[in-house]
Structure 1
Amino acid sequence: MSRMPIWPDAPLLALATGFGAGYSRIAPGTVGSLWGLPLVWVLQQTCPNKVVYGLVTLVLVLIGVPICARACEHFGRHDPGSVVYDEIIAVALTFMFTDLTVVTGTIGFLLFRLFDIWKPWPIRAFERLPHGWGIMTDDLLAGIYAAIGLWISALLMA
């Protein structure tokens, strides 16, 4: 457990753990990733176009690097399972070019989890980047892989 007091880090830990979703005893990455779906819905309802959606997502990524880095310091290890901010933002990336529906939401979510767990080349190599970059980047790449798979699936379903 961390030697640092919890209170100063409470807002940061709330974000890093997906408001506690990352503390799930069963599949914290999957539970945390579920928070990405409401984020996608909000982004798709409020962003007037894909450029704005992409810029907002980029800002969330850049904010996430220090959040994840500080959470790692707090928990005393690299990429602890309870830190799910990276999964949440990567799910948003998965749906950047595909509208969220029940069908696409299910397919996109499952594709993201597949690539996040499997970590095909070169995703795993990016885990070794320093600080919060490794935590964020491997999930963002999984989100990109899932976005491509989802886009292809949407074309096939059309």
Structure 2
Amino acid sequence: MKFAKMIGTVLGVGYIRPAPGTWGSLVALPWGWLLHVIGGFPLLVAGVVIAFAAGWWATAQMTAGSTDHDPSEIVIDEVAGQWIALLPLSYAAWTMGLNILEMWPGWIAAFALFRLFDIWKPLLVGWADRRGDALGVMLDDVIAGLFALLGVIAMAGLYHGLL
């Protein structure tokens, strides 16, 4: 259970108050940058997959026998979702040989859009959240991350005159 708590709370970040989900998303940013710098887009994708799988397991362990299916201290789901929102930036930087930090407006958009969709829970995000199980805890943030990813792409298209 101790290992599950380390994963689920992202080494205790989930215990920071107020707004542990926002703290989880914030800590995901430098770690996402580090993954990108070390291994580019492929390593960030691998990070998403590993965070999702480990988070699903840790969430199931932490919520077993509890009536609260989504305790606020579990923030590994925010890390996975935030990394998904960063994928368009990582892909563009990786394929074009850019410094990913040069796209700083995209970082702000990815963070803001992910938090918006994670808190608002529109459409499929809300459906996943209402599942009431460990998979739902992870899926709502994955879907919020995908919505944010699409928003980042749309905003980049508008900014660069492609849309």
What is the TM-score of this pair, normalised by structure 1? 0.84
Partner of 1:116: 118
Larger displacement relative to structure 2 (16-25 or 122-131): 122-131
Match of 1:138 among 128, 140, 145: 140
The answer to whether residue 32 in structure 2 is matched with residue 40 in structure 1 is yes
SS of the equivalent of 2:64 reads helix
Larger displacement relative to structure 2 (132-141 or 119-128): 119-128
SS of the equivalent of 2:88 reads coil
Larger displacement relative to structure 2 (50-59 or 62-71): 50-59
Match of 2:3 among 11, 15, 20: 11
- State the distance in 2 between where 1:68 and 1:121 align: 23
Q: What letter is aligned with 1:37?
A: L
Relative distance call for 1:10 and 1:132 in structure 2 (3 A) is same
The superposition leaves residues 93-122 of structure 1 with CA deviations (integer Å, 9 ceiling, x where unpaired) of: 111111443322111101100000001102
Match of 1:129 among 105, 123, 131: 131
The answer to whether residue 72 in structure 2 is matched with residue 70 in structure 1 is no
The superposition leaves residues 121-140 of structure 1 with CA deviations (integer Å, 9 ceiling, x where unpaired) of: 02111123364201000000
Relative distance call for 1:19 and 1:59 in structure 2 (3 A) is closer
Deviation at 1:76, TM superposition (A): 5.3
Structure 2 gaps of 5+ residues are 91-99
What is the TM-score of this pair, normalised by structure 2? 0.81
> Contact between 1:36 and 1:90, CA under 8 Å: does it hold in 2?
no
Q: What letter is aligned with 1:31?
A: W
- State the distance in 1 between where 2:44 and 2:10 align: 20
> Contact between 1:22 and 1:83, CA under 8 Å: does it hold in 2?
yes
Q: Number of aligned pairs?
A: 149
Structure with more of its chain in helix, by fraction: 2
Structure 1 gaps of 5+ residues are 1-8
Identity %: 31
SS of the equivalent of 2:87 reads coil
Partner of 2:93: none
Partner of 2:83: 92
Deviation at 1:141, TM superposition (A): 0.2
Larger displacement relative to structure 2 (94-103 or 58-67): 94-103
Q: Which runs of 4+ in 1 moved over 4 A?
A: none
Q: What letter is aligned with 1:125?
A: W
- State the distance in 1 between where 2:108 and 2:65 align: 33
> Contact between 2:32 and 2:44, CA under 8 Å: does it hold in 1?
no
- State the distance in 2 between where 1:65 and 1:146 align: 21
- State the distance in 1 between where 2:14 and 2:24 align: 5
Partner of 1:4: none
